[in-house]
Each structure stands twice: as C-alpha cells, then as structure tokens.
Structure 1
C-alpha cells in the first residue's frame, strides 16, 4: 500500500499517521508491554509472587485511569496536541528512571506515571489522527488503524532491547534494561512530537460533562471486558514461555512476532476498518485475540506459540481502532477527543482489574489457568460487542448502519 495517496487533487500522506504512531510505540509498546519481558527477571531478583508482579501492571493501569479521567478536565483547558506531547514526555521520563530504585513504592509510582502519560497519548493521539485526515473518511480509518498499530513497533523493539540484556547479564540487570528502554523511548518520541505540534485544534471550552453515549453501552462493556482479558495474556505470556523451558532467543522471536502482527494489522484489517460496522469489527478483534490466547494453552509447542503471538498481535489493536472509528461516526468532531477518552477510561479500569485477578489465579493454580481465564473473558467480550450493534447512534450526515448488511456500512461522502 502506498503511503502517499492522491485525495481530491492533492497528496494526503500516511506518513504523519506513522509518525504519530511512534507515540503509541513509546506509550504502549515500550512503557506498558515491555514490562512483560522484565517481569520474570524482576520477580526472581526481587523475590515477588505473581500477585505482586501483576500488581505493578495494575498500578500502571490505575495510572491510565487517572490519565484518562484527568484528560476530560484538561481538554477543556489545553489543546489535544499539547496534552499528547506532555503525555509522551511524562512517559519517556517515567520509563527512563524506573530502574533507579528497586523499592516497590518507587517501581509502582513510575508504573503509575507511565500509565498517566500513556493515557494522554493514547486518547489524544486518536483525535489528532482524525483531525489530520478529516478531508478523507476512508483514509482516516486506515490512518487510525496505522496509528494504533504503532504499538507493534514498540513491542518488537522492546524484545530486541530487553531480552539480550537479561540473557547476557542475568536477572539482576533489569535496571539497565529499563534505562535502555528509556533511551529508545526518547529517540522514538522525536517524530511524533514534531507531527503533533503541527496539528491545529483548540481546547474544548464549550462541551461539559460526558459526551453522548446513548446506544454505546454494549460497546463500552465489551471494551471493558476486552481490556480485562487481553492484558492477562500480555502480562504473563512471556513468563509462560519461559516456564516451558524455551530459550530467550525463541521468546524474542515470539515477542517480535506479536509486535509484527500488531504492526501489520491495519493493512490486514483494512476492509473491516473501512466498511464494517465498527461494533462488528470490535467483536471480530475479540474473537481473533481469543483464538490466539487459547492456542498455546492447549498446544504447548514452539510452532503453536509463534502462531499464537502473531494471531494475538493481529487482533489486539484492532479493538481500539474500531472504538475510535465508532466514536468518529457516533459523535460530532468537537466531541471526538472526549468520546475516545470515555472509552479509554473504561478500558483502563479493565486493565487494572485483569492482572491482579490473573496473578492470584496463577499463584493459586498455574499460569495456564490464568491464561484460560483471560480467554474466557475475551469470549464474553466478543458476544457483548455483537449485542445492540444496530443501535449505535450516528452523527448527522452519516448513513445509517441499519441499512443493508449487518456487517457492511455505506459511507456518505462527508463521513466524519
């Protein structure tokens, strides 16, 4: 697919979306998911239980809650691009200094700060992409998927950075691995900072309270359940791979495969992102991640793990892409940032719940049991996303989702 596409007599490039996607690579791929690679070493070195290890991801998710909720107020006073840039800066600093102290309070505080920054990046970045590609609804949907797929770049890079350090220097080298991640985060943040600074948009000084979400409750609940389920896999899958006695080199390949699956997902799902009812796309994303989550627990072989991580990555970030498209279609443009932030709040609460419960299950039973629990939640999320998909409201000028096929949606020329 070309990254520069002629639209209405001018070239509208996807490169800005790719640049902004590096913000997600930092905020999600490096700051959040890289912890899964460090969890086994930190757990051994610091003598943690799985509950304690899961608690750090819960603190990161609670920071995400704080960031998402605070964004509601902040977006009334600052522009989305300003909050995006400050969130990216906060995330970089938090990652860089995480390894400076081994005390649990310090590690928890830094995970929390990284979560706050990531929420600002994640929520505002989606609105920035929508604003940047407002001239083309079709290209905007692809750009939205490309933006969220930036997490895959961060995931793949984190495996290349962290695993060789831990393998060469042992479990006690985890502070150095965090420092290395911080350096990579700072370098990766330069391009999205530049792109965000050039996107106009004022603070939402008119809107008060919650954006309208009539008809969106099934999607909100499905997104919550998706967050509960997917984060279990992302927190414990690398520890589970190590528990199977597989090498760190294999773990790196599997982790990179997950990242590549995420990075390639907007292109694999382009038709769905462009034409499907976004609630159907959300359900399909939950189903694909469900398949990826179940595969290794029933077929614990190296090939099945590689297929699992690739499949999971292929579906994982289509869920937030579908939600962003749903918000773009259901709400007026001034409400986009706050609408996505509302879903981000729900998502972040789910992420906070998942690791603690799964950690308890892993301590009491096994890592396999915790992965099965996450898969069950993903199955429920898929069903919930299908409930009420015909009742999703459409902003004025949109073509009704009730017309025609329950999957395909006819887009009006002024979509968005």
Structure 2
C-alpha cells in the first residue's frame, strides 16, 4: 500500500482524536486565546493599562493552576472521562458568564473558572486519546498531536467570531463577542462529550500509586519555561498588530493563519512524533515558536507577521504533544492521566507568570520588548530540553 493511501486510511481512523480535540478547541482556543482578540477592545472600553489586561490572563492561568492541582488529586477518585466532561461544561458556563457583566471582580472570577475547566480538559484528554488508541500504537502519537492541535480550530474560529463583531459594533460590543463565543463553545462541545463517554480501558481508570519522575525533571523545567514564553506572544500579539496600524481584517487573517498552523501541526510533525525522542521534539517545538516570536519584533511588516503566526502556530502545541508522548513512554498506562496532569501543573504556573512580567515590560518599554522577553524564555526552554535528552533516553530504556 502506498504511503498516501496509508495516510488517508490513518486520517479516517483519527476521527475520535479529532472529536476529543474539539474539547481543546473550546477550552483553549475559545476560552483562553480568544481573550487576546478581545484584549484591545476591553482595554479601551474599560480604561485598563497593560498590567490590568495581563492580570485577567493571569487570573485564567491561576484557575488553570487550581484546575491542574485539583485534577491531580481528583483523578485518584474519579475517571479522566468524567473530569474531562465536567471541565468542558464549566468552561462553557464561564465563557458565557464573561459577557454578562463588566466589573473587574466578575471578569476575574469568570476567567478563573474558565482556567479550571480548561485544565481538567487538557490534563485528562491526553489520557483519553491514549486509551482510545491503546490497541493502535502506530496511530497513538499522531492522534495525541491531533488532540492538542484541536486548539487551532478554536483559535481560527475565535477570530472569525470576535473580529467582525468588534469591527461592526465597536469596542463596547466586547460582551456580545463573549456571548457569541459561549454559544459556539456549547455547540462544539457535543462531539467531545459523546466521544469521552464512550471511552473505557485502563488509561481511563482511576489513577493509583506514586509517580516515578527520575530523569524527567529537565523536561519539566523546560516545559515550565515554554509556558512562560509562549503565553506572552499569545496574550499580546494581536494588540501588537493593532499597534502597527494594521487593519482588523489583516489581524483576523493573521490569527486564522496561526490557528491553521496549530491545526495542521500534527501532520507536519508526524514523522517526528513517530520517531524522535520526546525531549528532542520538545526542544524543536520551543525553537520553532522562538523563531515565530522573534520575526515581528525584528521585521514589522505584514508578510513577516503572517510568517510569524504560521511558524508559531505550527510549533506551539507540539510541545504538549511531546510531553504526552514522554509520559506515555515513561509511565504505566494507569498513571498516564496523573503524569500528564503533573506536567500540566508545572505548565500552569508558567502561564501565570508570563503575562504579568510581559505586561510590566509592555507598560514600561513597549510591546516589542515584551516579545523579546517571551522569545528569550523560549530559547532557554529549548536548551534545557536538549540538556535533559540523555536522562530522558535512559528513563525510556528502563
């Protein structure tokens, strides 16, 4: 059978992974990253500075911490599929509620709840994909990448929903945009909820036993720094595009390219996901996002911004995919959900730190300097992942 026929057959059998990936589209693409599109309108309408704007993303990231930490313990009592579905429902409610009031306390609370729901979806979904493809190991890695790449669908969809509303109705229409996102989130959640309810197997069982993290700490630290760095770009890139005087239509196009890059990334990285050491995949994904983050800072032109979003999108969700592959290879199947959740805890702390630091830099030295800050963190993350390569290799050989 030709390689093309094999890919076609594989893609058809990847539909369950795609369905579960719509959970990431909702919890990450719509609930988290859509805020970058709404940030300029909310900042203008509510008279915020960049620190205040960044603090809402930090509230979301703190919710992600609460969700990740709580998931680590909840998975000792309930199945990943149950927590996944609960997280999706919580995210839908939080997104809808964000459009109901404009006071900072309310918005902080809704962003916090959205973060909790997203963490439950993100942490449990990787284990559910592994359970679904437990008997198809040749597909499991690309299925894992496809699950996380579901965020790209949400990113692209958020641009198509939010930007026309703000363009037609003005900055004060940001609550309408959040309500529209909530409706889209509710519709998109039907398939992943049905898919999660069908999954059985050991990887969907209650987690048990202590995790053995020997050899995994460098990768964990690299993942932390990746979270600190990538979230800077995702929080402020749309505001940076607007600061260059480019139109909302161009901003929508750039955002759509970014989401499309995420969506196709598991196929671009298919051979790497199949054959490379997970530490090398993590380092490479950090480096690709680093290139994407630096391009607009050095070359403030429309073509460089499009190339930047394409590069950044193609590498961004390969990092969590590499971590999921690492956990699958290093831990027993009944600990996959717990292991991915622990990495998600580390990731969530990084996401909480990044926007505040970048917001302070943006207020004092401009948005371009904040992009430099995020890129520097991604560079260090890539180096650390390579430093930990030998330890990861030894661990997987045991």
TM-score (norm 1): 0.92
Aligned to 1:36: 36
Matched, 1:58 2:58: yes
**204 and 192 in structure 1: CA distance in 2 versus 1, 3 angstrom threshold:** closer
* Structure 2 equivalent of residue 190 of structure 1: 190
Residue 348, structure 1, aligned to residue 332, structure 2: no
Deviation of residue 73 (structure 1)? 1.4
* Equivalent position SS for 2:334: helix
Superposition pairs of residues 309-328 of structure 1, within 5 angstroms: 309-328=309-328
- The CA deviation at 1:5 is 3.6
- Structure 2 residue 276 is matched with structure 1 residue 276: yes
Task: Give distance in 1, aligned partners of 2:7 and 2:171.
Answer: 42
Structure 2 partner of 1:178? 178
In structure 2, the partner of 1:23 is 23
- Partners of 2:254 and 2:216 lie apart in 1 by 36
Q: Give me the CA root mean square deviation.
A: 1.6
Q: Which residue of 1 aligns with 2:128?
A: 128
Which aligned pairs between 1:60-99 and structure 2 lie closer than 5 A? 60-99=60-99
Q: 2:127 & 2:304 partners in 1: Cα distance?
A: 37
Deviation for aligned residue 1:391: 1.3
Q: Which residue in 1 is equivalent to 2:330? A: 330
Aligned equivalent of 2:103: 103
What residue is the counterpart of 2:49 in the other structure?
A: 49
Deviations 1:125-170 (A, max 9, x none): 0000000001122200010000000000000000000000000000
2:208 aligned partner: 207
Aligned length: 393
Distance 1:75 1:206 in 2: 6
In structure 2, how many angstroms separate the alpha carbons of the residues matched to 1:72 and 1:386? 27
1:393 shift after superposition: 6.3
Q: Which residue of 1 aligns with 2:298?
A: 298
Contact 2:277/2:393, CA 8 A, preserved across alignment:
no
SS at match of 1:77: coil
Q: Does 1:372 align with 2:349?
A: no
Q: C-alpha offsets along residues 32-60 of structure 1, whole Å, 9 cap, x if unaligned?
A: 00000000000000000100000000010
Give the aligned partner of residue 218 of structure 2: 218
- The Cα of 1:388 is off from its aligned counterpart by 2.3
Distance in 1 (CA, whole Å) between partners of 2:178 and 2:381 is 33
Structure 1 portions without partners, runs of 5+ = 402-416
Where does residue 246 of structure 2 map in the other structure?
A: 246
Alpha-carbon distance between aligned partners in 1 of 2:198 and 2:93, rounded to the nearest angstrom: 23
Aligned: 1:14 with 2:37 = no
**DSSP-derived class of the 1:215 partner:** coil
CA distance in 2, matches of 1:116, 1:164: 29
Kindly indicate whether the alpha-carbon contact (under 8 Å) linking 1:291 and 1:311 is maintained by their aligned counterparts in 2: yes
Structure that is richer in helix per residue = 2
For the residue of structure 2 that corresponds to 1:100, the secondary structure is coil
* In 1: Cα distance, 2:70 partner to 2:393 partner: 26
SS where residue 281 of structure 2 aligns? Answer: helix
Change (3 A) 1:220 1:174: same
**CA offset digits 1:203-253 (Å, max 9, x no partner):** 7556245x1111001000000000000000000000000000000000000
Query: Cα offset for 1:326?
Result: 0.3
Q: In 2, Cα distance between the equivalents of 1:365 and 1:161? A: 32
8 Å Cα contact 1:62-1:349 kept in structure 2? yes
What does the per-residue CA deviation read over 1:145-202, in whole Å, with 9 as the maximum and x for residues that have no partner? 0000000000000000000000000000000000000000000000000000000147
8 Å contact from structure 2 (residues 32, 60) kept in 1: yes
Q: How far apart are the structure 1 equivalents of 2:149 and 2:345?
A: 20
Q: What's the offset of the Cα at 1:282? A: 0.2
Offset at residue 394 of structure 1 (A): 6.9
Per-residue CA deviations over 1:75-117 (Å, capped at 9, x if unaligned) read 1111110100000000011001101010101001000000000
Question: 2:288 aligned with 1:288, yes or no?
Answer: yes
Question: Take 1:163 and 1:204, find their aligned partners in 2: how far apart are those partners?
Answer: 42
Q: Tell me the residue number matched to 2:116.
A: 116
Q: Partner of 2:388 in structure 1?
A: 388
Partners of 2:274 and 2:393 in 1: CA distance: 18
